[in-house]
Structure 1
Amino acid sequence: MDEHEEDLETLGEQLYTAIYSKHKEDAGKLTGMLLELPVPVITRILQDEAVLTAAVDKAFGALQVAQESSKEPCKDEDDASASSDSLGEQLFDLVDVYNTGHSQKITGMLLEQHKEAVLNLLSNPKLLEEKVNFALKTLQEQAVEETDASDSSDADDKERLGDKLFSLVEKLDPLRANDITGMLLEMDSAALQQLLCDQSTLAKAVQKAQAALDN
């Protein structure tokens, strides 16, 4: 520990002792704040009671402002959260009356609006009905799009499986590879995957298809 640190530690102890009588709970924080000042200033504070009182009062005021500002946002957030929860519950009860089967999702969509707009919905049944119907229509359109995408994905998968299968079937029966592959593609995806992975299973399936074609 160098001399500067020793000086600060000594000054800190003296400051703490001087501050403790008036500010027991915040003595540590106030001491820390005053120790940020240059050493000559701290020394002067300790030597003059009036300067000490003024410096401590100033530090205490700054500390209070910092504490207030750190508490207020939390309080606002809590209030906003509680208010939002309450609005959500009220809105859900009203939306649920329409028995859409999507009450939770529709409520969530409506709650994305500004608070004033949500309050307006609670007091205006006609507007609420319009918004619920619009949200329901949006959800139904999304469901159709997802189904289309899924169908498209299944078709793509089937096409890829068909290409792989054709290349394998072609080795076993080049002349009728197209017909046999078409017959095998009637099987579900899991069975097709099995054919691709197991040569003996594929050979048996091809033989069955060949027999069916011969007949």
Structure 2
Amino acid sequence: MEVEGDLETLGEQLYTRIYPKHKDNAGKLTGMLLELPRHVLSQMLQDEALLCAAVEKACRALQLTQEPSRVTSKDDDDVSVSSDSLGEQLFDMVDVYNTGHSQKITGMLLEQHKDAVLSLLSDPKLLEEQVNVALETLKKQKERTDLLDADDTEKLGERLFSLVEEIDPLHANDITGMLLEMEATVLQELLSNPGMLKVAVQKAQAALDTGQ
């Protein structure tokens, strides 16, 4: 209940600031901004420029939802311009949510059928749901990539260590650690080229000797 109270207070403060310049749409604009993260809302209330920029974005998005004719009145011969127009309008609306991934999310949403994109432009609630789904997808992709990267590095390290150990068992740990600082593509070459690996190990041995 406390969180709801906080949100209600933020909403009242936002509405009070928005109303003087946007009497007709103050309620809708406030509702759109309240979808943003709590810390962003707090910043807006302390920074007039930030608030004005967010309200401007919300106004553009609201205007687009109220003017579907701008999207649907294009001729069939003008498909490319229509697609560009859709993309621009969708980007403006997605950008209101300040996700930090407006470009990627817009691209993901534009992969849908044109009719589905038009629905998003005319239904802010549906758009919000789609933005959240896209954000979740991006988050999972990043987690998968991070896991794969960590897994690949670990496997590379194990393979490299076993080869380095055959050349210099005494300093295998230190040398492998030094070699793992190289680019992944270089490491792959070392694993497939014994001569190249031997040279790299000798360089690492020399660096170790100098360090001691």
- Are 1:196 and 2:187 an aligned pair? no
Distance 1:203 1:137, change over 3 A: closer
**Deviation of the 1:203 alpha carbon:** 4.9
**Deviation of the 1:187 alpha carbon:** 2.6
Matches within 5 A, 1:30-109: 76=76, 78-109=77-108
CA RMSD of aligned residues (A): 2.9
- The structure with the larger Rg is 1
Matches within 5 A, 1:149-164: 149-164=148-163
Q: Structure 1: which 5+ runs fail to align?
A: 1-74, 170-176
TM-score with structure 2 setting the length? 0.51
**Deviation of the 1:185 alpha carbon:** 3.0
Q: Structure 2: which 5+ runs fail to align?
A: 1-74, 191-195
- Supply the distance in 2 between the matched residues of 1:117 and 1:200 (Cα, whole angstroms): 61
Q: Deviations over 1:51-98 (max 9, x none)?
A: xxxxxxxxxxxxxxxxxxxxxxxx84x411111111111100000111
TM-score with structure 1 setting the length? 0.51
**Residues 95 and 106 in structure 1, CA contact (< 8 A), matched pair in contact too:** yes
- Supply the distance in 1 between the matched residues of 2:125 and 2:148 (Cα, whole angstroms): 35
Distance 1:160 1:148, change over 3 A: same
- Supply the distance in 2 between the matched residues of 1:113 and 1:198 (Cα, whole angstroms): 50
- Percent of residue pairs bearing the same amino acid type: 49
- Say which SS state the counterpart of residue 185 (structure 1) adopts: helix
Q: Which residue of 1 aligns with 2:115?
A: 116
Q: Larger RCO: Structure 1 or Structure 2 (Cα < 8 Å, ≥ 6 residues apart)?
A: 2
- Supply the distance in 2 between the matched residues of 1:207 and 1:114 (Cα, whole angstroms): 64
**Residues 175 and 204 in structure 2, CA contact (< 8 A), matched pair in contact too:** no
What is the number of equivalent residue pairs in this alignment? 127
Distance 1:79 1:161, change over 3 A: same
- Supply the distance in 2 between the matched residues of 1:198 and 1:85 (Cα, whole angstroms): 52
